């Protein structure tokens, strides 16, 4: 992979911060956008802007073609058999909530939802609320000490009471990639539906929802070089058919009378109101961009950088790494001696290094790790080994500054 050529596609990376060259190591929070995606947004707003699905004029047709074209590209990108299986949302969080509101009316107090303690709050709080609303039980899969799901104990947590299993494809703290196909097969044996949170998966490797066989798969555009404000709910057609619309109004109806209304077919019945047209077009451009580089090359680059960062950081005095030391996708989570992660982040920022400090929207996982917060460095296709070295040097200076050992 030609990282120098890739970096030239990202104007934002070529700046100094506090007088130092920027090392942007926070792509797990949001990825930077290449010129190709920005050009697609400009093309739409400068030449094609119109509302979709309704207008019978040239601009309306172009906008509709571009919007629906983005849906088809997104479907192909994740191995969905049909574009109708892609519902555009604002982000992962909204996609999870759409299922949590629209599918879970059927749950009764005898039923169980099974998730993991490593979920992002976005894939935990909606299920807590669902359990409260429906009076059903929320259970958590067991984790091994290294942070991987304990697959030997998992069958004890699955029974005909289990109606929904929801878990992340890749943990945004531990970096582990969960065996989602294996867990989906086990969940299907007891008749449960399965939702996978792919927010940290789709940006980094080729995802094939058909091979995983999950019922729902959700992700955000902004973590894969697309604009903010566009996300995806993929579903098997029979699973999406079970969703009762959650928002009602324009765009989602087939007929309306004073007494009653009927709905459009999928996926439009789940996309009420004027959608994020430019966001979807930007997502389509991001898919084109990632595919032009190749998801296998992106994965190999991310794996190599993560392995290098693990090697460098684990050799540094005072660094504690959380999660397994191998098989991680795109990020390293750690603490430096007893220096608060926010202080580490502040000193690193002075050195031009942008990382994330805090609970990473995973407070229960922080409790499981027995820390209030951590530092997280995350990598994407435009990052380099030199930036990992910048991180290590900046950490060394942080340690000296705080007199830590």
Ligand X SMILES: Cc1ncc(COP(=O)(O)O)c(C=O)c1O
- The nearer residue to ligand X, 85 or 220, going by C-beta atoms, is 220
DSSP code string of 336-397: ETT--HHHHHHHHHHTTEE-EEE-TT-HHHHHHHT-S-EEEEE--TT--HHHHHHHHHHHHH
Distance CA 61, CA 38 (A): 21
122 near ligand X, judged by CB under 6 A:
yes
SS3 103: coil
Residue of 73, 120, 139, 399 that binds ligand X (CB under 6 A) = 120
Reported as type and span, the H/E element at residue 89 is strand 86-89
Residue of 116, 220, 278, 333 that binds ligand X (CB under 6 A) = 220
Interface stretch with ligand X, choices 45-53, 120-128, 258-266, 309-317 (CB under 6 A): 120-128
- The nearer residue to ligand X, 282 or 352, going by C-beta atoms, is 282
Reported as type and span, the H/E element at residue 138 is strand 137-140
Q: What angle do CA 396, 391, 351 make, to 5 degrees?
A: 80
Interface stretch with ligand X, choices 90-98, 135-143, 278-286, 312-320 (CB under 6 A): 90-98
Give min distance, CB of 115 to ligand X, in A.
Answer: 12
**Residue where the block lists tokens 């460095």:** 377
168 near ligand X, judged by CB under 6 A:
yes
Q: Which of 92, 97, 87, 157 is nearest to 130 (CA)?
A: 97
Residue of 64, 74, 85, 93 that binds ligand X (CB under 6 A) = 93
Torsion of CA 140, 144, 150, 154, to 10 degrees: -30
Six-digit token string for 364? 């229960």
Mode of pairing for the β-strands spanning 261-263 and 253-256:
antiparallel
3-class SS string, 323-347: CCCCCECCEEEEEECCCCHHHHHHH
177 near ligand X, judged by CB under 6 A:
no
Give min distance, CB of 26 to ligand X, in A.
Answer: 11
Interface stretch with ligand X, choices 47-55, 89-97, 152-160, 351-359 (CB under 6 A): 89-97
Give min distance, CB of 8 to ligand X, in A.
Answer: 27
- The nearer residue to ligand X, 339 or 354, going by C-beta atoms, is 354
Q: Total residues contacting ligand X (rule CB under 6 A)?
A: 13
- The nearer residue to ligand X, 120 or 236, going by C-beta atoms, is 120
Give min distance, CB of 121 to ligand X, in A.
Answer: 8
| Phi, psi dihedrals of residue 327, rounded to the nearest 5° | 65, 30
Interface stretch with ligand X, choices 85-93, 140-148, 154-162, 188-196 (CB under 6 A): 85-93
97 near ligand X, judged by CB under 6 A:
no
Residues of this chain, 182-211, that bind ligand X according to CB under 6 A: 197, 199-200
- The nearer residue to ligand X, 186 or 362, going by C-beta atoms, is 362
Six-digit token string for 199? 């927010």
Residue of 27, 85, 172, 278 that binds ligand X (CB under 6 A) = 172
Catalytic residue among 136, 225, 361, 362: 361
- The nearer residue to ligand X, 98 or 339, going by C-beta atoms, is 98
Residue of 27, 32, 91, 177 that binds ligand X (CB under 6 A) = 91
Interface stretch with ligand X, choices 38-46, 117-125, 319-327, 393-401 (CB under 6 A): 117-125
Our answer to whether residue 361 is catalytic in this structure is yes
**Residue where the block lists tokens 């949001």:** 30
333 near ligand X, judged by CB under 6 A:
no
Residue of 32, 92, 97, 378 that binds ligand X (CB under 6 A) = 92
Give min distance, CB of 172 to ligand X, in A.
Answer: 3
What phi-psi label fits residue 19: left (phi over 0), alpha (psi between -120 and 50 degrees) or beta? left
Q: What angle do CA 166, 172, 173 make, to 5 degrees?
A: 115
Q: 111 vs 215, 230, 239, 249, CA distance in Å?
A: 18, 32, 18, 32
Q: How many CA atoms lie within 13 A of 396 on its CB side?
A: 11
Report the catalytic residues. 361
Question: Which residues contact ligand X by CB under 6 A?
Answer: 91-93, 120, 122-123, 168, 172, 197, 199-200, 220, 361
């Amino acid at each position: 992979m030609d990282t120098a050529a890739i970096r030239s596609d990202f104007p934002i990376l070529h700046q100094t911060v506090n007088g130092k060259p920027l090392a942007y190591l926070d792509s797990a929070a949001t990825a930077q956008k290449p010129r190709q995606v920005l050009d697609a947004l400009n093309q739409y707003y400068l030449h094609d802007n119109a509302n979709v699905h309704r207008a019978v004029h040239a601009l309306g047709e172009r906008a509709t073609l571009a919007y629906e074209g983005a849906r088809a590209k997104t479907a192909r990108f994740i191995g969905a058999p049909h574009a109708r299986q892609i519902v555009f949302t604002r982000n992962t969080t909204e996609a999870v909530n759409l299922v949590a509101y629209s599918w879970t009316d059927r749950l009764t107090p005898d039923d169980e939802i099974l998730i993991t303690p490593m979920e992002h709050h976005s894939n935990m709080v909606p299920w807590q609320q669902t359990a409260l609303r429906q009076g059903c039980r929320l259970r958590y899969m067991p984790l091994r000490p290294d942070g991987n799901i304990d697959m030997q104990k998992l069958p004890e947590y699955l029974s005909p009471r289990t109606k929904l299993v929801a878990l992340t494809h890749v943990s945004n703290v531990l970096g582990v990639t969960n065996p989602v196909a294996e867990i989906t097969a086990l969940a299907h044996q007891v008749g449960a539906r399965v939702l996978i949170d792919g927010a940290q998966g789709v940006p980094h490797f080729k995802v094939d929802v058909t091979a995983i066989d999950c019922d729902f798969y959700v992700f955000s555009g902004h973590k894969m070089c697309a604009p903010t404000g566009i996300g995806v709910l993929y579903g098997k057609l029979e699973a999406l058919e079970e969703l009762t619309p959650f928002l009602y109004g324009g765009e989602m109806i087939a007929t309306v009378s004073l007494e009653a209304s009927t709905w459009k077919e999928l996926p439009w019945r789940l996309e009420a109101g004027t959608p994020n047209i430019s966001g979807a077009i930007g997502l389509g451009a991001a898919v084109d961009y990632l595919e032009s580089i190749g998801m296998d090359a992106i994965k190999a680059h991310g794996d190599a950088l993560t392995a290098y960062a693990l090697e460098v950081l684990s050799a540094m005095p005072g660094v504690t790494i959380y999660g397994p030391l191998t098989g991680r996708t795109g990020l390293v989570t750690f603490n430096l001696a007893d220096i608060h992660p926010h202080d580490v982040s502040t000193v690193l920022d002075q050195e031009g290094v942008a990382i994330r400090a805090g609970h990473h929207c995973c407070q229960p996982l922080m409790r499981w790790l027995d820390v209030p917060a951590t530092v997280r460095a995350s990598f994407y296709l435009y990052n380099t080994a030199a930036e990992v070295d910048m991180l290590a040097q900046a950490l060394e200076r942080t340690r000296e500054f705080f007199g830590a050992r």
